[in-house]
Amino acid sequence: MFRKILIANRGEIAVRVGRACREMGIRTVAVYSEVDRHALHVRCADEAYLIGPPPATESYLVIDKIIDVAKQSGAEAIHPGYGFLAENPLFAERCEKENIKLIGPSAHSMRTMGSKTLARKTVQAAGVPIVPGTVEPIATEEEVLRISNKIGFPVMLKATAGGGGKGLRLVKTEGDLHSSLRMAKSEAKSAFSDDSVYIEKYIENPRHVEIQILGDQHGNYVHLCERECSIQRRHQKVVEESPSVIITPGIRAAMGKVAIEAARAARYEGAGTCEFLVDKDRNFFFLEMNTRLQVEHPVTEMVTGVDIVKEQIRIAAGERLSLRQEEVKQTGHAIECRVYAEDPDNNFLPCPGLITSLRTPGGPGVRDDSGVFEGFEIPIYYDPIISKLVVWGKDREEAVARMKRALNEYVVTGVKTTIPFHIRVMNNRHFLEGNFDTNFIDKVFFPEERERELPHFEVAVIAAAVQLYLGERKRAIAQRPVGTGEPVSMWKYSGRPGMPKIL
Amino acid sequence: MNYIATIGEREIKVTVEEVGVARYVVTGDGKGHLVDAHQVQDSVWSILYGTNSFEVDVQRRGDDYEVLIDGDCYKFTLMNEQLKALSRAGGKAAAGKALVTSPMPGKVVKLLVAEGEEVKSDQGVIVVEAMKMENELKSAVAGKVKEIFVKEGEVVESGAKLLLVE
């Protein structure tokens, strides 16, 4: 087993990985940029190294600097977390060359799954159902038209190098094809310097369901069941849960089996996730494989009892998987809400800044994977995630009630957060019924919210009026001319800490 | 003390009278209520309204309030009755002039206009980036760009003056 691990990340995920290391008796090495000296991941680590200025391109993304710290500190392995260098094959190759173990898959696996078309081709050959379309980039507009007509409009044009919703175009009819193709190509060119695109059939109102897998270096694989991630805004997941209300034991087993086949086809090692789209008839199609630890991994940990980060570390150290497929049990129900420093009542505008006070939720079945503390200033340079609030309940009903309760306990002041948004989602009738798809937030939730009557206007105005009244009174006292105020005994001040003694 | 709350189109007169330590009688719409209010954590208040307990986060920007209760956001303006009367009298002078400020700390990515340029109301004038997201800020009024206070690449605080349209 490793004695020392470098964590090449920051924020909540660096803290999460550090926790696993500590519990395993492994020393941790943190890296930090100039704005992160006070950050929680630095405070929690055994060693910490400054790696440069605040912009990630000059610190957390610089391969040379990370490798230097690994050598200097004598770390035998690097955990990349998610984001930053986590899915960068160049980084994986460099680690191999320097004889430092990267906790994650090989550069080969990353490349296979990183190219959308190569991934489609690879998993299709392994018998995994993919969204109908092409497995090669398409050269000409005539070919795009021919294939689109064959699979039927609407279709999606997608950048081969794609990600983050860039280079993505929905084409509803043949007439839109020309301009959409041009836009998809130019967007792909500027985002990924690669303008190749491919075609997929557009699945209407799909649900997003993914399978967590683990694979060791000895060719053993297990899947840890599914996570439902259909609650998204701007193509970004915000609420995740396990199990999914639409997945039956039969579908679960079938999805798990093909996810393992996909991983095997890429000679995958470590923790990974196969994302699927599920249509309204519950047909599932492979979308892509994420070759890293996912943000939402705690949901799976809560229902299976498996510590995914510890498994990653053991796998990287060459150990065999600690459990067999028949030992994987999904118990109860878990939900995660991602708490971001964003203003949900102002179009999710980012709200970096100082956390002036904080009360985190507790009680039965609650887990808060946080990267902040009271007095921490959230920098403007990185992802605005504050924490991931995760709850477990014996069934979905209890989990939702518990999440609502925990969200109500969660108080963050100084910055706006998405906590109020999550409370409203937990109260939404369609969410409670499990009746939603990836368009839910934009097409159903927000229109309904605009119509909803708010129950406590009176209390809101009263609280504001009392605050304003006290503010005015305080100002009036401060502005009072000297001598007219009530006399204050000097004895009152002397002896108080921080006050000069009156001699 | 008398205040005017404006909720959408509706105006409500609210009176606050202190009747004890942290206890107030608040009258709104002609009905008086005994309220026990304690500021417990920065902007968060514990309000006992009758015997019902509420935790209320009161955010204020000038006269604009955003109050959070149980995940719901209540937006309204609240002003001292006398000040409101004053501002009504002087309000016209301020019209037609608008300062664009940064709603969050971030970096100025791009200026979309130059000094002296004519802009329309609701036209994007500047792009500020925070946390990897670019946000286009708009001019609230139509007019000429009188002054630009920042340069591209500059890091700005929340509330920083960006430019003035007149």
CATH number of the domain where residue A45 is located = 3.40.50.20
Chain A residue numbers with beta carbons less than 8 Å from the beta carbon of B106 are 350, 352, 380
Query: Is residue A476 one of the residues assigned to a domain?
Result: no
Domain shared by A231 and A375, yes or no: yes
Q: Do A213 and A221 form a contact (C-beta atoms < 8 A)?
A: yes
Q: How high is the pLDDT of residue A479? A: 77
- Note whether A54 and A156 are same-domain residues: no
The residues, any chain, with a CB within 8 Å of residue B94's CB and separated by 6 or more, are none
User: Are A157 and A16 within one domain?
Assistant: no
Are residues A96 and A142 located together in one domain of the fold? no
Interface test with chain A among B17, B67, B134, by most A beta carbons within 10 Å: B67
- How far is it, in rounded angstroms, from Cα A104 to Cα A96? 12
- Digit-coded pLDDT (tens) for A275-284: 999 999 999 9
> Residue A491's pLDDT is what?
52
pLDDT above 70 (res A385): yes
* Phi and psi, residue B128, nearest 5°: -115, 135
In this predicted structure, the answer to whether residue A294 has a pLDDT above a threshold of 80 is: yes
Interface test with B, best of A424, A431, A469, A474 (most B CBs within 10 A): A469
Please indicate if any CB of chain A lies within 8 Å of the CB of B13.
no
Is there a domain that residue A122 lies in?
Answer: no
- The radius of gyration computed from the CA coordinates of chain A, to the nearest angstrom, equals 26
CA–CA gap between residue A128 and residue A118 (Å, rounded): 13
Q: Which residues in chain A are contacts of B18 at CB distance < 8 A?
A: 469
For residue A110, give the amino acid letter. M
Return d(Cα B25, Cα B19) in angstroms, integer: 7
Distance CA A52, CA B40 (A): 39
Rounded to the nearest angstrom, the gap between the alpha carbon of residue B49 and the centroid of all alpha carbons in its chain is 25
For B73-104, what is each residue's pLDDT tens digit?
A: 999 999 999 888 776 765 444 445 678 888 77
- Tokens standing for residue A122: 């690879």
3-state secondary structure of A233: strand
At a CB cut-off of 8 Å and minimum separation 6, what does B7 contact? A457, A461, B76
Do strands A27-32 and A47-50 pair parallel, antiparallel, or not at all (unpaired)?
Answer: parallel
Q: How many CA atoms lie within 13 A of A395 on its CB side?
A: 3
Per-residue pLDDT, A359:
96
One domain, residues A16 and A86: yes
Sign of CA dihedral A76, A81, A87, A90: negative
Neighbours of A401 (CB within 10 A): 13
Identify the pLDDT of residue A494: 46
What is the pTM for the complete model shown? 0.85
Q: Give, for B46, the enclosing helix (H) or strand (E).
A: strand B44-49
What are the φ/ψ torsions at residue A106 (nearest 5 degrees)?
-75, 165
pLDDT of the residue at B4 = 95
* A 450-489 residues inside an 8 A Cβ radius of B: 454-469, 472
The domain boundary, picked from A429, A451, A473, lies at A451
Task: Provide the 3-class DSSP secondary structure of residue A125.
Answer: helix
Give me the pLDDT at residue A386, please.
97
Q: Return d(Cα B132, Cα A166) in angstroms, integer.
A: 14
Query: Where among A433, A451, A469 does a domain terminate?
Result: A451
Give the residue from B22, B26, B24, B23 showing the smallest Cα distance to B13. Answer: B26
Residue of A nearest to B50 (CA): A459
What average pLDDT does the segment B35-42 reach?
A: 94
Instruction: Please report whether residue A301 resides in a domain.
Output: yes
Average pLDDT over residues A65-89: 97
Q: What is the pLDDT of residues A4-43, one digit of tens each?
A: 999 999 999 999 999 999 999 999 999 999 999 999 999 9
Residue A71 has which token pair? 């050598």
- Which tokens hold the place of B17? 């009278």
Say what the pLDDT of residue A139 is. Answer: 79
Top pLDDT among B16 and B124 is at B16
Outline where A200-331 has alpha helix (H): 249-265, 297-304, 308-316
Q: How confident is the model at residue A162 (pLDDT cuts 50, 70, 90)?
A: confident
CA distance A113 to A122: 9
For residues A194 and A213, membership in a common domain is answered with no
Please check whether residue A494 lies inside any domain of the structure: no
Q: B35 in contact with A at a CB cutoff of 8 Å?
A: yes
Residues 6+ apart with CB under 8 A from A316: A2, A77, A101, A102, A103, A104, A270
Mean of pLDDT values over A358-362: 97
Q: What is the pLDDT of residue B96?
A: 55
Contact A350 B60 (CB under 8 A): no
What is the percentage of chain A residues whose pLDDT exceeds 70? Answer: 95
Locate the chain A residue with the closest alpha carbon to B1. Answer: A469
Domains: count for chain A: 3
A34 touches chain B (CB under 8 A): no
Range of the domain at A99: 4-103
In angstroms, what separates the C-alpha of B115 from chain A's closest C-alpha?
27
Q: How far apart are CA A472 and CA A465, in angstroms?
A: 11
User: Would you say residue A84 lies in a domain?
Assistant: yes
Contact B115, B150 (CB under 8 A): no
Residues of B whose CB is below 8 A from A350: 104, 106, 130-131, 133, 135
- Final residue of a structural domain among A201, A223, A254: A201
Pairwise pLDDT comparison (A407 vs B136), residue with the higher score: A407
Distance CA A351, CA A121 (A): 42
∠ CA A294-A51-A310, nearest 5°, is 30
Secondary structure class of A97 (helix, strand, coil): helix
Mean of pLDDT values over A417-425: 97
pLDDT in tens, A115-155: 889 999 999 999 999 999 999 888 788 888 999 999 999 99
Q: Is residue A387 part of a domain?
A: yes
Cross-strand partners of B23: B20, B36
Cβ–Cβ under 8 Å, residues A325 and B79: no
Hey, what domains does chain B have and what are their CATH numbers? 2-92 (3.30.700.30), 98-165 (2.40.50.100)
In a shared domain, residues A31 and A176: no
Strand B44-49 and strand A342-343: pairing?
A: unpaired
CA distances from A312 to A3, A216, B2 (A): 15, 9, 63
> Are A56 and A140 within one domain?
no
Assess if residue A277 is contained within a domain: yes
Q: Give the mean model confidence (pLDDT) for residues A93-115.
A: 97
**CB atoms B5 and A464 under 8 Å:** yes
Nearest-Cα distance to chain B for A232, in Å, is: 17
Q: Can you tell me the ipTM of this complex?
A: 0.82
Taking alpha carbons only, the member of B3, B80, B37 closest to residue A459 is: B37
Q: What is the pLDDT of residue A81?
A: 98
A493 has a pLDDT exceeding 80: no
Is the Cβ–Cβ distance between A430 and A436 less than 8 Å? yes
pLDDT at position A469: 95
Torsion region of A188: left, alpha or beta (phi above 0 gives left; psi -120 to 50 gives alpha): alpha
pLDDT digits (tens, 9 = 90+) for A297-325: 999 999 999 999 999 999 999 999 999 99
The CATH code of the domain that includes A178 is: 3.30.1490.20
Tell me if chain B has a CB within 8 Å of the CB of A64: no
Strands A4-7 and A27-32: parallel
Does residue A176 share a domain with residue A223?
no
Verify that A181 and A324 share a domain, yes or no.
no
A16 catalytic residue (yes or no):
no
What is the C-alpha separation between A133 and A131, in angstroms, rounded? 6
A222 and A317 part of one domain: yes
User: Cβ(A50)–Cβ(A39) under 8 Å?
Assistant: no
Active-site option among A227, A233, A292, A367: A292
Q: Is there a single domain that holds both residue A41 and residue A177?
A: no
- B100-150: pLDDT as tens digits: 888 778 889 889 999 999 988 778 899 888 776 677 788 878 888 989 999
**Percentage of residues of chain A with pLDDT beyond 90:** 82
Q: What is the residue whose two structure tokens read 């002087």?
A: B90
Q: Is A486 within the bounds of a domain?
A: no
| Structure confidence by residue, pLDDT tens digits, B53-77 | 999 999 998 999 999 999 999 999 9
Mean pLDDT over all residues of chain A? 93
- Percentages of chain A per state (helix, strand, coil), in multiples of 5: 40, 25, 35
Judged by CB atoms closer than 8 Å, whether chains meet at B45 and A460 is answered as no
Average pLDDT over residues A166-192: 86
Please check the confidence at residue A485 and state whether its pLDDT lies above 60.
no
The overall longest dimension of chain A from CA atoms, in Å, is 94
